[in-house]
Every structure is written in structure tokens, then in C-alpha cells.
């Protein structure tokens, strides 16, 4: 009798011996003897291999029993591969074509085999390089609207929604990383934190900033208790892969039920930070200013596409228990349903601003920094960019009522950047 | 081999034959030959028996596979007995002594055996009779603070809290009753509804009241997505049993994770309605006016005791991930923690007002009416009382910002009652 081997991490050298018998791979790659394997994981948590064969290529992603970014001293359950798989199925179905195709999931090995996206690169790298992606705003705005709406009690049959809520309530460990790293660590002297020494004064200010800490704790409660929809849960520019015409979303292992504004705020914050980084990344480059405007326009476009698509789904797919058809359309009050939509979008926008603000703090003062800022070698130049992010972040988190729309946020970003000059 | 008998509803005549072999009963009741059984269920969903024996008495509660209030045409899962049992264990542990002692749970028979509360009566009946309960406000304020705080991410270890969230996410059916009956039915022409013909004009007004319907839908989203704590879920004056000195909480089968203000608002609304009913119930009774003031004072006391106890727990048991000690106490900022508490209480109060407002609508225009109003035989007199409840309810649900505290609500209640005269 065959017994299933226990979990063991793959290596580039051992992968063919371990997976040669899996038809999901051989069918797409051709004979195992010709496979070429390289480990390409640059994320914080997993092993990632690209396997190229005679007939094609695939990505093999395997969870490690610890957080790769820290090492074996931070043990971490292999179950996260299961939650990533379950979340990817759902998000992929809610906006078809936007996630990589999944070919195989092996729970015991915490292993997924998926489409090799090529010639895609991580969006964050594309933003550092100053590349423009004409279809990106539409893709991401649609993805946000479709996944956030369709995973909610506004759209789903509620027994199904509650079963999903229960399932993803099991993703305690990765949720716990978000809860700590996003909402708490940056606001106290946590040993995991690190920061640019040029920001020592800002760090001292943050420790004494009661209004900011109250906002952080309020937003943490929103995140932990606001079970609106299945979030991607880590939706930044490092979780998007792009080519000239295509955009794909990866790395859904932080998925949890939470407030819609969390995914949107995470993404927009990373765009605003990317814009702030341009001056430090490309000093003297004539395109840097035009490009940071392109990034800010992209943020505005994503929110506009999101609201348009969310409104379309509201009008056509509002089949869940929060739909309220009985109260409005069935009583010939279409305008009432439109007002309910406007109220919902206003609530999402309010959350979006708060979460975007905190994302900037954790990326500058917490554990997980962003390549845009890290790539600026000069501490003072880098600090100048990071300081702008903190200023914008504080305004968004503490005084969200100042920002009626993305244009108002972009206006402050421009002002912090010293104007359009 | 013994096989477990399949589910079958008990009858007063068959109960001894079915349960004589259970030591949990015989130990407390004495020999089965001497048991006297009567069915006393006047609730909407279950069979309830009082079993008296030589040595004592017990209550046996069994779920029926349909909603008793409607009949077999409304089938309902027996699992609700399981959720009631699980919720009762938790709520009972969070405020010891406030729920009846549980002696036996049989999942297959959907059956619980519990302490027979005597000489207790249902609080609603005591309010109709005009009885004063000196310890009631303290008991209920403490119960609310302790159960709502201790079931939340402010207090619990989060993996445990998330496991409970997942467990109670399975209570779909009873949750669905709340979702429909509380938040939707009263605001459209639902066949389940009924109302006093004297309120025909009010019903027409409600159908056209867009602001009210928007508030109802917003509050439904709060209820469905605001997973703050384990709620009792049906916390009105019919779920409290009282004696001169004791108060107990029963009927937790609607338990679900939801916003703290839901249980508080349900209870306070029932007190305000009980006060409105006094003039119709006891016309010309000199005590009726003093008694309705006693009820309003009770509402104020419950909120005051709740906030005091919630604050005490905040300062001494805030061990969960939403505690924020790292942000405040650990940074020598006790005042910050106090401000976070004030913000939390303000948010709970805001929710409380909205849910209280809707509770009044569903009790006057929906399926499940309250005995205080039903007992007023004269339609016009009853309508006058009910109309005041609807007016107060609308103000609470649509313009909660008008009410800074319970005193402001009580002041409007007095005004609607025609002043203190």
C-alpha cells in the first residue's frame, strides 16, 4: 500500500523527484527529465519555484513551517496554503481571469501548482521602473468591486456567506500578522519594527500621538469585527503581477472576512507611496514628475472604476439579505436603492482612508518595508519621501472627514510633494 | 446493543416514560412514578415542561421541528437547541448566576433539562402587573456588560473568539428570523405582518418613509456584519425571569456574533414600550404614571450600570487583541485608554439607539407583538400607545445623534406621553 509522504520542503534539486508522478505537471510541462527548476521566492513567507519543461512552464508555491522573512524562530502553520487555495478559488471565480489558473493543490505538502505568469513582473517593480500600464486601473478597480461585492451579504446566499465566514475564521495565524503588523506594531516600540534613522524624530512623535493611536485602535476594531466580505487581505502592489496589457492578483493567503475598505485602502496607500518615492528614486529624471502624476491618476481611476462597477453590481446582482429590494424597488422606490448605494460607498470610502493611512505607517516604521523607499540609498533623501507618506497617512487616519474623494487626497499628496512645479 | 431513539417530541403524558432512566433527572426529582408534568410553553418556538417530583422540580425544554408560533408550515432545524445550549454555557460563565443551571443536553432529542426558576415570572408579565424589582437594573446592566465585553476581541484570546464566531455562524436559521423580522418585514407589505387597524395610516406612512427604510437597511448591515461579540440575540423582557430579589436570563437560541448595541437596544426598547403601555393597561390607576417613570428610570439605570461595569472590565480585563495596552498603558498613557473606552461606549450607544428604534417597529407592525400592547382591548387606546412607540422608534433609528444619553430618550418618551402631568 502506498503511504503519503509527510510534509517536506521542496528544493530546486529535489522538486522533479518529488513531483514527476503528478499528471497535473507532466501534462503541461512534458517529460520530467527535461524540467529546469529555479527558486524565485522573494516574498516573506513561502518557497516559490518556476519549473520549465519541454511543453511549458508552471509555478510551484509551497508554504514553509515558519515565516521566511524572519526565519525558523517564527513558526507558522502550513494551513495558510489551504486558506490561500480556498480564497484563490473564490476570488478567481468572482472576477474570472484575474488570478493565476490553479492546477493542483496538495494540502499535506502545503503546495500549489499554478499558471506561470510570463512575461509579467511584480507591479511594485514596474512602478519603480516608471512603467505605465494602460489597462491596470480598470483591471484593479473591477477586481476590487467584483470580489468585495460578490463575497458579501449584499450578493451571496447568506447560509453560504456564513459558511465562508466560519471557514476563514480559521485563518487565525495570518490574520494575526495583519492585526499586529498593521494596527499595533508601528505605534509602539515593538522589537520587530525598523526605521530609517533619519526618521528618529518622527518615531518619537508617533509614540506620543494619542489621536493617531486612537485611530489605529478604532481601525483595528473595524478590521477585526467588520465582517463585510472575503478580503484578499494583503492587496498591495507586491500582490499584483503585470505585463503590458495584463494584470493578475496573487498571494491570497491573508484572506479573511473584513471590511471592504481594507483591500482598497491597502492598494491606494501603496500607490500614493510609490508616487512619493519617485523623486528619491529618480532624482533629476524629467519623467519622474509626470510619472508620479500618472500614479496619482491611477489611484483616482481605480476608485472611479471601483465605484462604477460596484454600482453596476448593486443594480444587477444585489440578491443577498442586505439587498433591500423589498424596501425599495418592490415599493417602486428606485431612488431609495440609489441612496442606499451612495451611503454604502461613503462608508467604504471612509474605511478606505483610515486603512490607507495606517498602511503608510507600517510600511515606513514597521517590519515590512517597501522596495520603492528601500531602493533610495541616501538616508536623507529616503527620509524626505517617507516623511511625506507619514504626513499623508496621519491625515487620512485621523481626519478622514477632510477627504471627500480621491481628488482631495491627491491634492494633499501634491502639496506634500512641493506642488507640481 | 442499545440504539438511540430518533427525535420525537415529548408530551406531558409521555415525558416520564421517555426520561425516567436519566440520572440527571431522577437525582433531582426523585422516583419517576411520582413526577407531575405540565406543558407551560408560551413562547414562539419550543415545548417547555415543568416536571415536579418528590425531591424537587426541573424544566425540560425541547425544540420542535417547526416554529410553534406559525405551525408546521414553518419548518425549523432542531439545531437551535444546540446553539442555545452552547450560548447558555458561555453567557452563564461570563456572568455566573444569571442564567438557569443546565443539568442535561441531548442533541438528538433537541432537549435541555434546566433549573426550574420559582417563584419567578416572566419580566414582561411583572411589568404589566406594575411590579417594582429593586435589584433588576443592576442585574441586567451587569449581565449586558459582562456578556458583551467578555465574548469579544477586547477580552478573549482571539483564536478562541474566532472559533466561537465560526461556531455560531452556523446558527443561520434563527439568525435569519432576526434578519427578516427585525430589519425588513415591518418596512414592507410582508404577509407575516399584522397590525392594529387603528394604525393603518401609520403603516402607509412607514411604506413611504425612505429615511426610515434606509436606517433599517443600514442597521441590518450593522447586525449582519458587525461581529463584535456573542449576543444573546433576543434580549427582551420576555427573555428575563424575575422574582422579588432575583433576575435570570433565558432563551439564548438566537445567539450570534453581532454588535454589542443589539442586545442593549432590544431590552431598552421593550422597557420604553412597557412604559408607553401603562396608560392603556391601567387607565385611571393612580400608580400607572409613577410606574411608567419607574420603568424609564430603570432604563437609565441599566445603561448606567452597564457603562460602569463595562468601564471596570475595560480597566481590568482588557486582555484581547483589541485591548491596545501596547499603545496606551505601556506608553504611560492611561488617559488614552480612557478615551478609547469613551469612544467605544459612544459607538455602542449609537448602535443601541438604532436597534431600539427598529425593535419598536417590529413589535407594533411585524409578526411578534408584545403582551403589554396586546392586552389593551380597546383598539383606539392601544393605537395611541403604539403610536408613541413608533414615534420614539423613528426618532431613535433615523436621528440617533439627537440623543446624547438615556435622559434625552426618556425626555422624548415623557413628551410623547403628554408630559408628566
Q: What is the pLDDT of residues A227-254, one digit of tens each?
A: 999 999 999 999 999 999 999 999 999 9
SS3 (DSSP) at A46: strand
Count Cβ atoms within 10 A of the Cβ of residue A210 and give its class: 0-12 exposed, 13-18 middle, 19 or more buried: middle
Model confidence at B1: pLDDT above 60: no
Q: What is the pLDDT of residues A320-342, one digit of tens each?
A: 999 999 999 999 999 999 999 99
B228 inside 8 A of chain A by CB: yes
**Structural domains of chain A sorted by starting position, each given as residue range(s) with its CATH number in brackets:** 15-115 (3.30.200.20), 121-416 (3.90.1200.10)
Average pLDDT over residues A255-272: 98
Question: Packing angle between helix A334-365 and helix A286-316, nearest 10 degrees?
Answer: 140
| Residues from chain A contacting residue B336 (CB–CB below 8 Å) | 210, 213-214
- Cβ neighbours of residue A191 closer than 8 Å, sequence gap 6 or more: none
| Residues from chain A contacting residue B328 (CB–CB below 8 Å) | 213
Count Cβ atoms within 10 A of the Cβ of residue B195 and give its class: 0-12 exposed, 13-18 middle, 19 or more buried: middle
Return d(Cα A301, Cα A393) in angstroms, integer.
20
Helices and strands (DSSP H and E) totals, chain A: 15, 12
CB A49, CB A39: distance < 8 Å = yes
Q: What is the pLDDT of residues A97-118, one digit of tens each?
A: 999 999 999 999 999 999 999 9
Q: What are phi and psi of B193, to 5 degrees?
A: -65, 155
Q: Percentage of chain B with pLDDT > 90?
A: 93
Model confidence at A128: pLDDT above 60: yes
pLDDT tier, B421 (very low <50, low <70, confident <90, very high otherwise): low
pLDDT at site B71: 77
| Angle, vertex CA B304, rays to CA B300 and CA B305, nearest 5 | 120
- Cβ neighbours of residue A256 closer than 8 Å, sequence gap 6 or more: A168, A169, A171, A174, A175, A178, A230, A231, A233
Q: What is the pLDDT of residues A266-320, one digit of tens each?
A: 999 999 999 999 999 999 898 999 999 999 999 999 999 999 999 999 999 999 9
pLDDT at site B64: 92
Chain A nearest CA to B351, separation (Å): 14
Nearest one of A417, A114, A111, A104 to A289, comparing CA atoms? A417
Return d(Cα A92, Cα A103) in angstroms, integer.
13
Whether the ω angle into residue B379 lies within 30 degrees of 0, i.e. cis, is no
Return d(Cα A163, Cα B170) in angstroms, integer.
7
pLDDT tier, B43 (very low <50, low <70, confident <90, very high otherwise): low
- Beta strands B229-231 and B256-258 are antiparallel
Give me chain B's average pLDDT, please: 96
| Residues from chain A contacting residue B184 (CB–CB below 8 Å) | 324, 326-327
DSSP state of A226: B
More confident residue, A354 or B420: A354
pLDDT tier, B66 (very low <50, low <70, confident <90, very high otherwise): confident
Model confidence at A167: pLDDT above 80: yes
Q: How many CB pairs under 8 A join A and B?
A: 135
Name the region of A226 (left: φ>0; alpha: ψ -120 to 50; beta: rest): beta
CB A254, CB A232: distance < 8 Å = yes
Q: What is the pLDDT of residues B92-144, one digit of tens each?
A: 999 999 999 999 999 999 999 999 999 999 999 999 999 999 999 999 999 99
Return d(Cα B406, Cα B208) in angstroms, integer.
29
CB A359, CB A236: distance < 8 Å = yes
Model confidence at A1: pLDDT above 60: no
Q: What chain A residue is nearest to B322 in terms of C-alpha separation?
A: A221
pLDDT at site A43: 66
Whether the ω angle into residue B119 lies within 30 degrees of 0, i.e. cis, is yes
Query: What ipTM does the predicted assembly reach?
Result: 0.96
Return d(Cα B380, Cα B46) in angstroms, integer.
33
Amino acid at each position: 500500500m502506498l503511504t503519503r509522504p509527510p510534509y517536506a520542503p521542496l528544493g530546486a534539486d529535489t522538486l522533479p523527484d518529488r513531483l514527476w508522478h503528478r499528471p497535473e505537471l507532466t501534462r503541461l510541462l512534458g517529460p520530467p527529465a527535461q524540467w529546469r527548476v529555479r527558486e524565485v521566492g522573494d516574498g516573506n513567507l513561502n518557497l516559490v519555484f518556476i519549473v520549465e519543461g519541454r511543453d511549458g512552464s508552471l509555478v510551484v508555491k509551497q508554504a514553509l513551517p515558519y515565516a521566511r522573512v524572519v526565519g525558523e524562530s517564527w513558526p507558522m502553520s502550513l494551513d495558510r496554503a489551504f486558506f490561500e487555495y480556498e480564497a484563490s478559488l473564490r476570488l478567481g471565480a468572482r472576477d474570472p481571469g484575474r488570478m493565476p489558473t490553479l492546477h493542483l493543490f496538495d494540502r499535506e505538502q502545503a503546495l500549489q501548482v499554478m499558471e506561470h505568469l510570463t512575461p509579467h513582473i511584480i507591479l511594485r517593480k514596474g512602478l519603480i521602473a516608471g512603467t505605465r500600464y494602460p489597462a491596470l486601473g480598470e483591471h484593479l478597480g473591477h477586481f476590487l468591486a467584483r470580489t468585495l461585492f460578490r463575497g458579501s451579504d449584499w450578493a451571496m446566499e447568506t447560509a453560504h456567506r456564513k459558511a465562508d465566514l466560519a471557514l476563514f475564521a480559521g485563518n487565525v495565524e495570518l490574520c494575526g500578522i495583519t492585526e499586529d503588523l498593521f494596527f499595533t506594531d508601528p505605534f509602539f516600540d515593538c522589537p520587530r519594527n525598523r526605521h530609517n534613522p533619519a526618521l528618529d524624530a518622527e518615531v518619537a512623535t508617533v509614540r506620543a500621538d494619542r489621536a493617531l493611536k486612537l485611530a489605529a485602535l478604532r481601525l483595528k476594531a473595524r478590521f477585526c469585527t467588520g465582517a463585510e466580505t472575503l478580503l484578499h487581505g494583503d492587496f498591495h502592489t507586491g500582490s499584483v503581477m503585470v505585463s503590458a496589457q495584463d494584470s493578475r492578483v496573487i498571494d491570497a493567503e491573508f484572506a479573511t472576512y473584513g471590511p471592504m475598505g481594507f483591500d482598497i485602502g491597502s492598494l491606494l496607500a501603496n500607490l500614493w507611496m510609490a508616487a512619493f518615492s519617485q523623486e528619491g528614486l529618480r532624482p533629476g529624471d524629467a519623467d519622474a514628475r509626470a510619472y508620479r502624476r500618472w500614479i496619482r491618476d491611477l489611484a483616482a481611476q481605480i476608485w472611479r472604476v471601483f465605484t462604477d462597477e460596484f454600482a453596476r453590481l448593486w443594480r444587477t446582482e444585489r440578491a443577498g439579505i442586505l439587498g433591500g429590494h423589498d424596501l425599495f424597488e418592490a415599493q417602486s422606490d428606485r431612488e431609495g436603492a440609489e441612496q442606499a448605494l451612495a451611503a454604502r460607498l461613503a462608508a467604504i470610502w471612509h474605511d478606505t482612508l483610515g486603512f490607507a493611512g495606517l498602511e503608510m505607517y507600517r510600511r515606513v516604521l514597521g517590519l515590512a518595508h517597501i522596495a520603492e523607499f528601500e531602493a533610495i540609498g541616501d538616508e536623507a533623501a529616503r527620509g524626505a519621501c517617507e516623511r511625506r507618506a507619514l504626513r499623508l497617512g496621519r491625515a487620512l487616519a485621523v481626519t478622514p472627514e477632510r477627504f471627500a474623494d480621491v481628488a482631495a487626497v491627491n491634492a494633499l499628496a501634491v502639496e506634500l510633494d512641493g506642488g507640481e512645479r
